[in-house]
Chains A and B, each alone.
Chain A
Amino acid sequence: GAVVSQHPSRVICKSGTSVKIECRSLDFQATTMFWYRQFPKQSLMLMATSNEGSKATYEQGVEKDKFLINHASLTLSTLTVTSAHPEDSSFYICSAREGGSPGGYGYTFGSGTRLTVV
């Protein structure tokens, strides 16, 4: 089945620094990847849709300049949290869907990255 690899799984950084999270589709090509954020005991909130070769589409209320998304290839998308603050501490999860046509396949999720900003 489809596998999405996400790294790092856990990161602690100081306020003001930037953190990069990688999301790779290991055995399929993903023209589109999705980035979610999850607060403790909450559901997943879509932050942005990452499109290979073009700019990401951000959900309302998500700061584009703080959460930089780059989808450089069909198998790699990165999320960079710039100038991180404690309120950015959260669980970030990426997902991708195999295949180019509707039906037959669901979305596969990475294992998530727990970011703690101190």
Chain B
Amino acid sequence: GIQVEQSPPDLILQEGANSTLRCNFSDSVNNLQWFHQNPWGQLINLFYIPSGTKQNGRLSATTVATERYSLLYISSSQTTDSGVYFCAVGRGSTLGRLYFGRGTQLTVWP
């Protein structure tokens, strides 16, 4: 399978700070997603980004597929950003599974 490494494992910020989360993967992929898991367990799809750069409000993501990494940027952090951020990758046909990283636990203090 594909190995997915996320860093840092834990991140503690004060409200208003910016942060960068990283995802490295071990093989070529044609699917990469960033998820936010809220305290109730729901996985919220933040970005579908197998390559390139996307922005959505205070969040943006960049994937450099040739170098096998992706970055998630969070600007002006809010307490509601707290939770676990997962990177997941996949490859092959539409029936392909997703391989998840271990996640980054983000805590934003007021």
A interface, CB within 8 angstroms of B: 31-32, 34, 38, 41-44, 46, 49, 51, 91, 93, 95, 97, 99-103, 105-109, 111-112, 114
| A105–B40 alpha-carbon span in the complex (Å) | 24
Name 14 A/B residue pairs within 8 A (Cβ), A-sorted: A31-B95, A42-B102, A43-B102, A44-B88, A44-B100, A49-B97, A103-B30, A106-B45, A107-B33, A107-B90, A107-B98, A109-B45, A112-B42, A114-B41
- In the complex, the answer to whether B45 meets A108 with C-beta atoms within 8 Å is yes
- In the complex, the answer to whether B93 meets A34 with C-beta atoms within 8 Å is no
Known contacts A43-B101, A99-B94, A102-B94, A111 near B86 by CB under 8 Å: no
**Chain A residues with CB under 8 A of B103:** 43
How close is A47's CB to chain B, nearest CB, in angstroms? 11
| A95–B100 alpha-carbon span in the complex (Å) | 13
**Chain B residues with CB under 8 A of A43:** 86, 100-103
B interface, CB within 8 angstroms of A: 30-31, 33, 35, 40-43, 45, 48, 50, 86, 88, 90, 93-95, 97-98, 100-103, 105
- In the complex, the answer to whether A32 meets B30 with C-beta atoms within 8 Å is no
How close is A89's CB to chain B, nearest CB, in angstroms? 14
- In the complex, the answer to whether A49 meets B41 with C-beta atoms within 8 Å is no
How close is A20's CB to chain B, nearest CB, in angstroms? 19
How close is B56's CB to chain A, nearest CB, in angstroms? 13
Known contacts A91-B41, A112-B41, A105 near B30 by CB under 8 Å: no
- In the complex, the answer to whether B33 meets A100 with C-beta atoms within 8 Å is no
Known contacts A93-B43, A111-B41, A111-B42, A106 near B100 by CB under 8 Å: no
